[in-house]
Amino acid sequence: MSIKNICCIGAGYVGGPTMTMIAAKCPDIIVNVVDINKNRIAAWNDKNVDKLPIYEPGLSDLVAKTRNKNLFFSTEVEQAIQAADMIFISVNTPTKTYGVGKGMAADLKYIELCARQIAAVATTDKIIVEKSTLPVRTAEALKRILDNTGNGVNFEILSNPEFLAEGTAVSDLLNPDRVLIGGEETESGRLAQQALVDVYANWVPKERILTTNVWSSELSKLTANAFLAQRVSSINSLSELCEVTEADVGEVAKAIGSDSRIGPKFLKASVGFGGSCFQKDILNLVYIAQSYGLKEVADYWEQVIIMNDHQKRRFAKKIVETLFNTVSGKKIAVLGWAFKKDTNDTRESAAIYVVDYLLNEQAEVVVYDPKVNAEQIYADLDYLNTRSGEDNRKLLNVVNDHQLAFEDSHAAAILTEWDEFKSFDWNTLYEKMLKPAFLFDGRMILDHEELERIGFEMYTIGRG
Ligand code: UDX
Ligand code: ADP
């Protein structure tokens, strides 16, 4: 079966870039990306491609080349479902905030809504592709909803988890380490799997397209993220040990990363990992293990989250302790709000938690981030519900010019590793600050010897 028309439900960080790449590489396939969020769709359709709702290096060029040729963004969900041979589900699956599994399990209500909508609208056979990260066995739930429509339409369900990392989405999609496609082990399941393999084979070498059963595919996505997050928590745990001894965590990371069995990636100590996936997926894994009564397995993975929370809190605490145990009324410049560089995504960003801690200590925080706007920053803080929205706006300011953040500040903290911070004129910034001028590098991106020569009192993660 050759796919001619694809619909993707959900025009977010996963659906948007992935469908843009498919459209760019498969000019014969019509790709309709639909979303219930009108503003998001309007932004995807904005004539000025710099106004796309998500920022990813290289994405706007690709959208400009394909949009309204074979790539379309719209809110016409039903029409797109009807026309499609293959439907990708890329809606959000946040951690549940209520009821059973609160704070741990994935909230599948958006997925279920999609399934019900597909079931209600479809009049021809469809291949349904789970793109969002989902707990193991979601495909089964999807299938039960879809198969009970009684309208004679046949649905095949595939799991095709996305491994792209934000900030490098375009190059990850262009040149993936692997594409994983899980399908049912039936004749029709294998045909559906092959149809999706053929789509990717337009640009991905065949040996990098792995096919598995549905459950293996779903579990692989959760555990890939758990393993990556575990590496960050492992090195972060050592950063604390390094700070109280004579070791330097950067040197340790280099030494262990040179072992080809360990490898150099994901060993950068930091203020803590963020992003929409790591925490959510581990919590999910923990929840699944618990629900099967596997206490030791659950506890093992939960420790990765515990360590990450500790690292964020430890960093914030360090700021307060260093500033003579009080930051009340002190101005602190915060550089970076996104959860990593080259994205405007702030979900679970360490900055949110560090700043919340500082605001609890009555600090006056001024934030500068090159891609995140004030509205988002306030929304992130308001969502925590620690204090009123009014108080958040009283205590925290957002500036578009980083220099303003430094005027008469007591300290500055780097919370995202944006490249532009490295080329700041640190001599001038030092002059603007009150003395002693404290600089907390939560991402270890600056030349600390150089900054100490300027006069900064430096705090580096993982160095005593
Ligand atoms: C992750 C996975 O990498 C990706 O495969 C999956 O599809 C989605 O989840 P993402 O969350 O976009 O991607 O970013 P990633 O590069 O993995 O970084 C996650 C967090 O870990 C960031 O906050 C980053 O700053 C932090 N990190 C990463 C470190 O602190 N140290 C490191 O060495 C690496
Ligand atoms: P991700 O990082 O997984 O891509 P996002 O939150 O960026 O997550 O994107 C998910 C998108 O899915 C949102 O834009 C949301 O509006 C959309 N969405 C959620 N439920 C539905 C639905 N039933 N129909 C269409 N779009 C939906």
Res 143: pLDDT? 86
Q: What is the pLDDT at residue 371?
A: 96
The upper half-sphere exposure of residue 307, i.e. CA atoms within 13 Å in the direction of its Cβ, equals 24
Task: Determine the pLDDT at residue 150.
Answer: 67
* Pocket lining: 268 vs ligand 1, CB cutoff 6 Å: yes
The pLDDT value given to residue 102: 87
Catalytic residue among 126, 221, 330, 371: 221
Protein residue closest via CA to atom 31 of ligand 1? 268
The pLDDT of residue 141 is: 82
Atom of ligand 1 nearest to the CA of 161: 7
Annotation marks residue 162 as catalytic: yes
Q: For a pocket test of ligand 2, which of 78, 110, 163 has the largest count of ligand atoms closer than 8 A to its C-beta?
A: 110
- Please state whether the peptide bond connecting residue 436 to the residue before it is cis, i.e. omega within 30 degrees of 0: yes
Ligand 2 neighbour 12 (Cβ under 6 A): yes
d(CA 270, CA 151): 53
CB-neighbour burial class of residue 174 (10 A; exposed 0-12, middle 13-18, buried 19+): middle
To 10 degrees, what angle do helices 214-243 and 138-147 make? 150
| From 132, 171, 230, 232, mutation site for ligand 1 pocket: most ligand atoms within 8 A of C-beta | 232
Helix ranges, 45-137 (H): 59-66, 77-83, 109-121
Measured distance CA(120)–CA(315) in Å, rounded? 51
Specify the length of the chain in residues. 464
- Is 114 marked active-site? no
pLDDT along the chain (464 residues), means of 10: 95 96 98 97 95 94 97 97 97 86 84 90 94 78 81 90 95 98 95 98 98 93 96 98 96 98 98 95 94 97 98 98 98 98 96 98 98 97 96 98 98 98 98 98 96 97 91
Tell me how far apart the alpha carbons of residues 396 and 418 are, in angstroms, rounded to a whole number: 21
Kindly give the number of the ligand 2 atom that is closest to the alpha carbon of 276: 2
